[in-house]
Amino acid sequence: MAKRFGGKYSPDGQNSAPRGTVTVSGVKTGGLALKLLYLPPILLAFTSLNNGAATLLIALIGAGILTLAAWLLGEGVEAEAAYNARKIARRPAVPRKMMASALTGLGVAIAAYTGDSGTIAALLYGVVAAGLHVATFGTDPMRDKRMEGVDTFQQDRVAKVVDEAETYLDVMKSQIEGLRDRRLTEEVSAFQTTARKMIRTVEEDPRDLTGARKFLGVYLMGARDATIKFVDLYSRNKDEDARASYEALLTDLNDNFAARTDKMLLDDRSDMDVEINVLRDRLQREGVSLKPRGND
């Protein structure tokens, strides 16, 4: 089978790991480091229970802010992981990590204030906490990621289609996980892997977008809608006929996406062979010998 040459994120399966397992700035999305950030707001609320109603109210506000900051950081880390995994990507529309840093500083300042640190000291604690948060987790990507040699319009089209495709896949995953059915979750995960190979293929060569657009748009949208309807039906009455139809749909989608991706790769190899032959003929017309030395 023909393969593309090079590229860390070439569609060869190396980058087909599910989202949420990518490491960004030393932090694994969904990992222990992020989960531990939910502990301080719990401790803040718990330790303020016996300090009076006013102090408790302020502490609960601070705990809510710290909880929101932890959630935003998790979302920001996942968005950065997706950004890093792509050849062409738009910067995150919302700077979640920077918002998390600011909220962390505010939450720590409130926590310090409830501990009788004084206004100035509380503000200083907040500034230090925000700075340490940025130093630990970094900031959001600030620029769109583009490829050299490809016009901006084409790259924007690819980025838009890829963003929509990833959204459809994420909805499918979240819906199926709600059923807590291991086999269905694995089948959807397998289809996601196949679909993301097509996505990576298009990112490697945006010229493939024309052939893949219907798959990454119309077909994935239909797969998302079918998943939502199936989950709604199956969660109510465990309809085995509906389950069999849905599994058959996943099989068809997986086979068709894989076949289309293989065809795009073969077409790219054919295009490369044509370019090599044209270059070889031109060099020969210029009198440049392509024979290895010693074979005359």
Instruction: Give domain status of residue 109, yes or no.
Output: yes
Q: Are residues 88 and 129 in the same domain?
A: yes
Answer yes or no: are the C-beta atoms of 104 and 66 closer than 8 Å: yes
Residues with Cβ within 8 Å of residue 68, at least 6 apart in sequence: 103
**Residues 168, 272 share a domain:** yes
Domain end position, chosen among 110, 137, 164 = 137
Same-domain pairing of 31 and 130 = yes
Using alpha carbons, select from 160, 164, 153, 174 the residue that is nearest to residue 217: 164
pLDDT of residue 29: 59
The average pLDDT across 17-45 equals: 70
Range of the domain at 275: 152-285
Q: Once rounded to an integer, what is the mean pLDDT over residues 128-147?
A: 87
In this structure, the answer to whether residues 101 and 203 fall within a common structural domain is no
Q: 112, 137, 162 — which closes off a domain?
A: 137
- What is the predicted pLDDT for the residue at 14? 40
Residue 89 included in any domain? yes
Residues 111 and 182 in one domain: no
In a domain, residue 5? The reply is: no
Q: How confident is the model at residue 8 (pLDDT cuts 50, 70, 90)?
A: very low
Please report whether residue 11 resides in a domain. no
Number of domains in the chain: 2
For residues 173 and 119, state if they share a domain. Answer: no
* Whether 157 and 128 share a structural domain: no
Statement to judge: residues 102 and 76 lie in one domain: yes
- Is 272 found in the same domain as 170? yes
Last residue of a domain, one of 137, 171, 191: 137
In a domain, 114, yes or no: yes
pLDDT of residue 150: 57
Contact 173, 192 (CB under 8 A): yes
What is the distance, to the nearest Å, from the Cα of residue 72 to the centroid of all Cα atoms in its chain? Answer: 15
> Is the domain of 122 the same as that of 156?
no
Q: Which pTM does this prediction carry?
A: 0.58
> What residues form DSSP beta bridges with 231?
none
pLDDT of residue 2: 37
What per-residue confidence (pLDDT) applies to 76?
93
- Does 16 fall in a domain? no
Residue pair 164/199 in contact by the 8 Å Cβ criterion: no
Note whether 252 and 168 are same-domain residues: yes
* Mean pLDDT estimate for the chain: 80
- pLDDT grade for 292, boundaries at 50, 70 and 90: low
Residues 6+ apart with CB under 8 A from 288: none
Q: Are residues 118 and 177 in the same domain?
A: no
Domain membership of residue 15 (yes or no) is no
Does residue 17 belong to any structural domain of this protein? no
pLDDT above 90 (res 24): no
Asked if 66 and 42 touch (Cβ cutoff 8 Å), the reply is: no
User: What pLDDT does residue 249 have?
Assistant: 92
